[in-house]
Amino acid sequence: MGQVTYLNIYIYGVLGFIGATLFGCFYFYNGMEATSFLVSTYSGQTTNYFDSNQYDLYFQGFVYCFTFAVAGFLLLTVMAIPNREILERQRGAAAPGMASPQGMTAPQPMAPPQAAPQPMAPPQQMAPQQAQAPPPQAQKAPEKAPAQVEVPSVNDLEDDEFELETEDRAEDTGDSDVIFGTGRVTEESIVDFIHKNPDSAIKFLYRKTLDGKALPPTEDEIYAVWQKRGLSRARVRDYILQIMDWTELPADKTLMDIWSELRDQIFELTH
């Protein structure tokens, strides 16, 4: 109820402010009329001033009061909108057991009648109670181990597994760069490709994204073009093993871990 009282005080204050601004508008408007007069001419009516400076002051006062009156009306509109918190508290005042706004109390639900107690059988007629087995404990579901990205094995690739026939190979003309070239990929371009783009090299080698998902069709098509130009997965693997000084690619690491270690190793070698 305290908030409602304060809100009423604010509303009365804003109403008083609006009344004062409207009175100011009336006062300054009368002052404008008192310091000016209209003169009829052949071209129409013109305004002449007894005191132009006094008229300007009255005009500015009228503009200010009118502006503040409009702002007061807007503020009063915002304050008159029901507040959600106040409505919820008013609804809570009418809860069961408390006086409602009309001074009535909500009826309490009656408890259902209890069944009459059954007479107990004599001790000699009571059947021996069987030992009740303890309730089985709820079996906890086995906790699932965090899903690990399965890394496909590429350690058994042969050097000539992805070598193409002579008629399918790209010509030696053109740029040998793996990404931007069009000619035959050379040993030097493969090394440069791995040093500059270790993430693309890992994805080309494993045919997976770094998070272990399948490659998008667009990337798969690009890798097929690289392969036709002579880029071999086995050669990419051998160069990565040489850079990392590994005997084989680790099967217990994710592709993201392999790429991170390869990137750091290349940075150390180049710097």
pLDDT in tens, 24-65: 899 998 888 888 877 777 677 777 777 888 888 989 999 999
Position 259 scores a pLDDT of 94
In the chain, the amino acid numbered 33 is E
In the chain, the amino acid numbered 96 is P
Do 181 and 230 form a contact (C-beta atoms < 8 A)?
Answer: no
Position 177 scores a pLDDT of 92
Position 164 scores a pLDDT of 46
Identify any residues that bridge with 208 across adjacent strands, giving them in sequence order: 214
Position 255 scores a pLDDT of 94
Higher pLDDT, 73 or 173: 73
Position 236 scores a pLDDT of 93
Percent of the chain with pLDDT over 90: 37
Q: Check pLDDT > 90 for residue 243.
A: yes
Candidates 15, 155, 139; CA nearest to 77 is: 15
Position 155 scores a pLDDT of 72
Sign of the dihedral defined by the CA atoms of residues 51, 56, 57, 58, in that order: positive
Q: Which residues contact 179 (CB under 8 A, 6 or more apart)?
A: 193, 197, 200
Position 141 scores a pLDDT of 53
From 68-82, 185-199, 221-235, the region with the lowest mean pLDDT: 68-82
Alpha-helix residue ranges (DSSP H) falling in the chain: 2-34, 52-80, 84-93, 187-196, 198-206, 217-228, 233-244, 255-270
Position 50 scores a pLDDT of 77
- 99 by DSSP, 3-state: which? strand
Percent of the chain with pLDDT over 70: 63
In the chain, the amino acid numbered 25 is C
Position 80 scores a pLDDT of 74
Distance separating alpha carbons of residues 70 and 68, to the nearest angstrom? 5
Position 113 scores a pLDDT of 56
Report the Cα 185 to chain-centroid distance in Å.
44
Position 8 scores a pLDDT of 78
Give the mean pLDDT of 97-108.
Answer: 49
Give domain limits for the chain: 2-88, 166-270
C-alpha R_g of the chain: 45
Position 107 scores a pLDDT of 52
pLDDT in tens, 110-157: 655 565 556 565 555 444 455 455 555 555 555 554 444 455 567 766
Using CA atoms, how far residue 143 sits from 41, 65, 121, 140, in Å, is 99, 72, 50, 8
Position 46 scores a pLDDT of 78
Identify any residues that bridge with 214 across adjacent strands, giving them in sequence order: 208
> How does the average pLDDT of the chain come out, rounded?
76
